[in-house]
Structure 1
Amino acid sequence: MTRESNSELFSVSPKNMVFYAPYDRTQKRIITILNPTMQKLLFKILTNAPWQYNAIPKCGCVEPYDISEILISLNGFQFNHAEKYCHRFCVQCIPVPPAKLFDTQSILCLFKRVRRGMIHNVRVPVELKPKPLDIPQDELDSILQYDVQKLLWHMRPIDADYLEQLKQVTMPAKGRKKRCGWKCMLVTPLILIWTGLAVAYIHHQQVEDFQFLELKADNQNCEE
């Protein structure tokens, strides 16, 4: 039998996934996998209702001390209040096998070859709320303007002057190369790392903001 949970190997958030009515449209959520170990992990995600959900990506790897995000989409369907829905997801992880196997086989094939007792599982139950999320109108009015401004800020294009300045910093002039060669070698990777982290953060914030605005729009449509 596979292990139901193993926090020493990896962690999954959220612990349970909640969707709200109405269900006549696509809704999206994010599952985050955290690898707190010094070894690289492989993962795949399963659901007991594959006709109802899409997961992108369905499998992948998580670098040591890093995270990986899975976008979950609930397809629109006819919600039945009398029916009991027992949907759930299962995130499976294994340590990366030897390079010879990893380089020649797909991740899904590797999972099939691993003994079931070596696969670490974390289940994420799904809860389908029969009613929309109840947000008071005064709270919506107070945060709507802020959220729109925040979304526009995160969606702003990177200024061309900024890119030119970054290029000048990361590619110093030849005349100055001898004087500060070792300094540039230290500064350049740091700039590139922080730039990549900033882009990843902006992308993550965009996804969260779009989900929140979509949720508020659904709530307003229901009230109308």
Structure 2
Amino acid sequence: MHCPDCGEPLHEFSFVGNDKSWRCFRCGGFWADGWVINRLDSKILQKWKPVEVDPGWLNLGSNVCPVDGTQLVRYTGEIIPDNMTVKRCERCGRWWFPTDSLLRYKPAQEAKVNYYRQWGKAADVGSLALPALVLLIVLAGLATVVSLVKRNTGGRVAAQATVRNLAAADGGSGEMWIVWSSAAGYKVKWRRVGEPEWRVGEPERKEEGVYVLKLRDLEQGAEYEAVVEEKGIKFRVD
């Protein structure tokens, strides 16, 4: 895989132990999943240093997804500071943080989270998480996850819509919620990764177009996978 900005090969590493993330050591950009970015904090990022960049290098890339070649799109909104450029692949859902923007983004996000909490707006904290194909929110509460899925859907689901915004939310104590938006409540297949047999669950409709299945008695530290229609996710139980 190559850097969207300067074209150099990306180097694989792990931020949190069970992820695959990448960095360009020429221009300093980071390529990662949204759920990984949501789990990071300033302390984890302290070991990563800004890279001195020649501005001319940033014109050598093709601005496409390193995985599937889709044109990257700049993401704007409340979760991204106005003076920061962050891009996303709409197909695979991963995020590109050019140069040292990730090192600046997390302190800015944490400052806003602290503001919300100090001013008694804890219910709005979830809105500061990056949208992700696998949105893993540890102990966030089901209401927060449903709200995020509904917000990403625009509050409505077209009649012909398939599964969208598939998410896994950690409820603690071996429990996990599978949440998504769709026009119908499809059955969920799930299993521990590596097991031959799938288990099947019936979801509960929480709000218009938002469905939830609660998984219980999962083994902590194990990796699981779930499939709703043709959409699949993997998640680890902490």
Q: Which has the higher helix share?
A: 1
Query: Shared fold by TM > 0.5?
Result: no
Q: Structure 2 length as normaliser, TM-score?
A: 0.25
Q: Structure 1 length as normaliser, TM-score?
A: 0.26
If you compute each CA radius of gyration, which structure gives the higher value, 1 or 2? Answer: 1
